[in-house]
Amino acid sequence: MAAGLAASGSRIEDAFWENRLAEKIHAQLRTGDDQNLEAALDQLYESDPAGYGEFIYAIEAAIECSILTREDRGYDVLMFAVPVLTWSRFSIPSGPVAGPVLANVRVQLEAHVLAANVQFVLANCLFSPDQLPRGYHLTHELADKLWKAAVTGERELHMNPRQLAETGRFLSDTRYLLGAIAVPQGKPMFRWQEIGRTGEDKSAGNSSGIKFSKQEILLAWRSQGTEALRPLFQGCAFELLIPDGFFSAWRMADRLARPYSMHATVEFLQSTLNISANRLRAVIAPFYDQWLEEYRVSFTLKDRDDVLYGIVWALVGDEDENSDTVTQIETALQECGIMHTTLLDNRFLLEYCEECGAPLFPNPEGEVVHAEFPEEGEVTPVHLH
Ligand SMILES: [Zn+2]
C-alpha cells in the first residue's frame, strides 16, 4: 500500500491508499508490538525508497494525530513538541516541571505560537531524549493520553517521575516539553495557519492573508518564551526552536542539535584549555553500519594527534551518503573559528568503548581511539571520559 501511495497518479488515489494504509497501521499499533511495522519498513528500505518515505510518514501521522469525538463534535488532535537546544559544563536538568513554570510557558505558547482559542494540554515534564517514549506504540500511547486530556479541556497531564528513564549526561543535548492540541475539525492549530478574512485585519500586509510567517513566530517565541523557560535551565545556555507536530519538531531538533553541539564543544574547549579556536584541529570521518550512519568529528590540538574530545554528527531523516553532510560539517566548523580540518575517507565501522559505551573517534592518523580530555581541577562534572 505504501508503494501504491508512492506511485499514485492523483490526489484521489493518494487518499485511497492513505486510508487503507492508515487502517492497517492502526491495527498494528493496537497490537502493542512494533515488530511488523519495523519488518515492513526494512523490506521497503531497499526495494522502494519512495514507498519507504510514504510509509514512515503514514506511521508518524497515525501516531501523532487523530480525530476524536466529544459530545457529538469532532476534534482534530495533534501531539506537539516544544524543543530546546541546551548545553552546560554542569548537568542539564530534566524531569518534573513545577506548576507555576508550566503555567508561564502556557501563557507564552498561547500568545505567540498557537492559534486563537485552541484547547491544549502540556505534560508536566521536561523530557530528555532518553525519556521520550521508545518505539511506535509507546509513543502512540502517550499521544492518546494527551489527546484525550486536550479534548476534555485539561491543562496539565501529570507524568509519573518514577517511570522516566535515566538521562545520559552530555555537554550538549536537547530537551522537550510535550503536549496536545485539540480544535474543532478543520480549524487552525498554530498561529502560522491563521488566515485573515477580506475586510478584516487590515494590518496584514500580506496578500495571501496569512497573518504571521513561521519565521516571525519563531522570533516572537524566542524573545518571549525564553524567560518563561529560564527557571528550567539553571546554569545552562539554551535556545528555543519552533514548537511543532511531534515528529517534525523532533527531526528539526536532531538536525539543529548538530551545529549547536559543535559550537558548544568548541566554546567549552576554548574556555577550559584557555586557547583560541585557531589552535584546534578537527578530524572528520564517515562511520558505517550497513549504510553510512554518521560522521564523527574529533578535536585535537593543531600540532598534536591526541583526541581531546569528539562529537557525533548523525544523519537525520532522509539524509544518506549522497547528502552534502561534509560541507555542512565544514561550514559549522568554520563558523566556530576552526580553520584546520582533516577529512578522512576510510570507511570506519561504528565502534564504541567496551567499558563505557562511548563512541570511539578518529585521530589524524586514521585510527579510532578513545577521546581523552586532560584532567584539570574544574572540568570533572562533564561526561568526558
Ligand atoms: Zn570508555
Residues 275-289 have pLDDT tens digits of: 999 999 999 999 999
Distance between start and end Cα atoms, the chain: 48
Examine the pLDDT at 384 and tell me if it is beyond 80.
no
Degrees (nearest 5) of the Cα angle 18, 20, 26? 95
323 Cα to the center of ligand 1, angstroms = 31
What percentage of the chain carries pLDDT values higher than 70?
94
359 Cα to the center of ligand 1, angstroms = 8
* Of 128-132, 197-201, 312-316, the least confident: 197-201
Q: What is the pLDDT of residue 12?
A: 98
117 Cα to the center of ligand 1, angstroms = 51
Going by their DSSP bridges, the two strands 172-184 and 119-123 should be labelled as antiparallel
Residues 64-120 have pLDDT tens digits of: 999 999 999 999 999 999 999 999 998 999 999 999 999 999 999 999 999 999 999
Going by their DSSP bridges, the two strands 172-184 and 244-245 should be labelled as unpaired
Residues 56-74 have pLDDT tens digits of: 999 999 999 999 999 999 9
354 Cα to the center of ligand 1, angstroms = 7
8 Cα to the center of ligand 1, angstroms = 50
133 Cα to the center of ligand 1, angstroms = 27
* Of 29-33, 58-62, 197-201, the least confident: 197-201
Write down the pTM of the prediction: 0.90
339 Cα to the center of ligand 1, angstroms = 29
Partners of 182 in the β-ladder: 77, 119
238 Cα to the center of ligand 1, angstroms = 28
**Over the chain, what is the mean pLDDT?**
92
Q: What is the pLDDT of residue 381?
A: 40
124 Cα to the center of ligand 1, angstroms = 34
Q: What is the pLDDT of residue 313?
A: 97
Q: Are 242 and 252 in contact (CB under 8 A)?
A: yes
384 Cα to the center of ligand 1, angstroms = 9
The DSSP annotation for 135-149 comes to SHHHHHHHHHHHHHH
Residue 57 CB neighbour total at 10 angstroms: 15
Phi, psi of 347 (to 5 degrees): -90, 100
18 Cα to the center of ligand 1, angstroms = 47
**Cell (9 digits) for 221:** 517565541
Q: For 3, which DSSP code?
A: H
Provide the pLDDT confidence category of residue 190 given band limits of 50, 70 and 90: very high
Examine the pLDDT at 382 and tell me if it is beyond 50.
no
The DSSP annotation for 127-178 comes to B-GGGSPPSHHHHHHHHHHHHHHHHTT--EE---GGGSPPPPP-SEEEEEEE
Examine the pLDDT at 375 and tell me if it is beyond 90.
no
Examine the pLDDT at 163 and tell me if it is beyond 90.
no
What residue ranges do the domains of the chain occupy? 2-63, 71-253, 274-378
179 Cα to the center of ligand 1, angstroms = 37
The DSSP annotation for 243-265 comes to -EEHHHHHHHHHHHHHHHHHHHH
